[in-house]
Structure 1
Amino acid sequence: MPDIFENDRNYVLGDPELEILGDRQKLARWRHMNVGPAYYKLGRKIIYRGFDLNVWAAKNRQDPNAC
């Protein structure tokens, strides 16, 4: 699967690329429920690594033809 996100880039809340996953509230719910992609919390800043986002996306890939 080709990468959706740039592997060696860091993404912060507000980056338009993160909107593919959902809005800020959805990402906050995922963090609160301990689901969703891995992230770093530095003070109040949330940082997602592109590599972690791609790993998470690959794990959540659905193939309707794989029966």
Structure 2
Amino acid sequence: MADLFDTNRNYVLGDPELELIGDREKLAQWRHKNMGPAYYKLGRKVIYRGCDLNDWAEASRVDPAVEGRD
């Protein structure tokens, strides 16, 4: 799979690239519910690693060609 996020980069809330998976409020809801991609909480700052975002995106992938087979 081609990576959606730069694996060597850290993303913080407010980075426009994070809008790809959800707005600030959606990410906050997921963190509160222990859902969504892995993150670091350093003080009040929330940091997402690009490699964690890519892993989460891959795990969320749906392939209709495979899903319909029984």
TM-score (norm 2): 0.94
Aligned residues: 67
Gap runs ≥5 in structure 2: none
Let me know the Cα RMSD of the aligned residues: 0.4
**Following the alignment from structure 1 to structure 2, what is the Cα–Cα distance between the partners of residues 22 and 48?**
13
SS in 2 for 1:7: coil
Which of these two proteins has the greater Rg computed from alpha carbons?
2
SS in 2 for 1:58: helix
SS in 2 for 1:65: helix
Q: Which has the higher helix share?
A: 2
1:56 corresponds to:
56
Percent of aligned pairs with the same residue?
A: 69
Gap runs ≥5 in structure 1: none
